[in-house]
Amino acid sequence: MSFSRRHFLGTAAAGWPLAGSVRAVGEGKPSRRVKVGQIGTQHGHAAGKMEALRRLSGHFEVLGLAGATEPAGKAFDGVPRMGMEELLALPGLEAVVVETDFPDACAAAHAAVRAGKHVHLDKPGALDRKAFAAMRTEAEQRKVVLQMGYMLRYNPAFQLMVRAVTEGWLGKVTEIDAMMGKKLDAAARRNLMRLPGGGMFELGCHLVDAVCCLLGKPQEVHAFSKPAGMDGFQDNQLAVLVYPDAVASVRCNMADPFGNPRRRFMIAGTEGSLEVMPLESGRMTVRLTSARGDYKGGEQQVALAVPEGRYDAELVDFARAIRGEKKLPRDAAFDIAVYETVLRAAGV
């Protein structure tokens, strides 16, 4: 699929001022609540998404839960449980949040799309490229909202980076360097070994998505894996994404006991750089050759306000799109191109 950097920046920039901003989460009184259900409790974000849906009671009314595993956790206490077909047939149901195990995610999302339901699909969304592309394309053809669950899209630090690139603060972008890691226990390693692509596919996909939001689909992708363990799981990976004027290096290390505090993202150009570390902290180093926006020339430390609810901003945006109050800025072509890049970065 041919996909220009201009198209990427256009779709990304279209959403940055409001999508996920601290003000936007609490702005205005919703015109009505969206009737929503959840499919699955196996994804690492499943409990957090249900907690957010229930907390955002002005935007959502949770009708039910399908595909739960035991024990599902306190986040799901009191939510009616049922089969997926029963959930999709509930009177008034408008949307579902898909939080299944990875092999089941695309089929669940596709079933919901064919039932005419709006879908929030957690990352990376599928195991198979053709299945993902078919599902995502059909969602657009049926004019149902489909939102991918990449929470960094709604993080204030990344929105500032999109603004900086879109408005030319950094000059010509030449470099991105990013890392995301954690230390997996033996059970988690065994679980993820079932999947192709290792840690880069499961966790590093957040960074690949962020790079694509900033620079577009790369010309080349080179994937490297040097496992630290002896079980064959790809726990230590590097992807190099090559662009006409820039190179992005993305690391995922799932054998790092300090992986969480070391998570970082840096983008640099001929006229400045922005760096956030730890990744979701809002603590940034801004370096600019001249004043831009609200920031002066030189180096400065910035602390951006980060919403307490990790998923609140994206889910509020989901509700607004369903109610017709806005259009999500990322279309099927964008999401398919990102998914293909995730596969390549993971060596699949």
- Rounded average pLDDT per 10-residue block, the chain, 348 residues: 49 43 57 96 93 96 92 87 96 97 95 98 95 98 97 96 97 98 93 91 97 97 95 95 98 96 98 97 97 96 93 96 95 97 96
Please choose, from the candidates 113, 133, 105, the residue with its C-alpha nearest in 3D space to the C-alpha of residue 336: 133
Residues 6+ apart with CB under 8 A from 16: 159, 162, 163, 166
Predicted structure pTM score: 0.91
**What is the C-alpha to C-alpha distance for residues 148 and 106, in angstroms, rounded to an integer?**
12
**Polymer length in residues for the chain:** 348
The one-letter amino acid code at 310 reads: R
Cis peptide before 30 (omega within 30 of 0): no
Q: What is the pLDDT of residue 8?
A: 52
327 CA to centre of own chain: 17
**What is the C-alpha to C-alpha distance for residues 306 and 292, in angstroms, rounded to an integer?**
22
Residue 65 three-state SS? strand
The one-letter amino acid code at 222 reads: H
**What is the C-alpha to C-alpha distance for residues 127 and 83, in angstroms, rounded to an integer?**
23
Identify the DSSP state of 33: P
The one-letter amino acid code at 225 reads: S
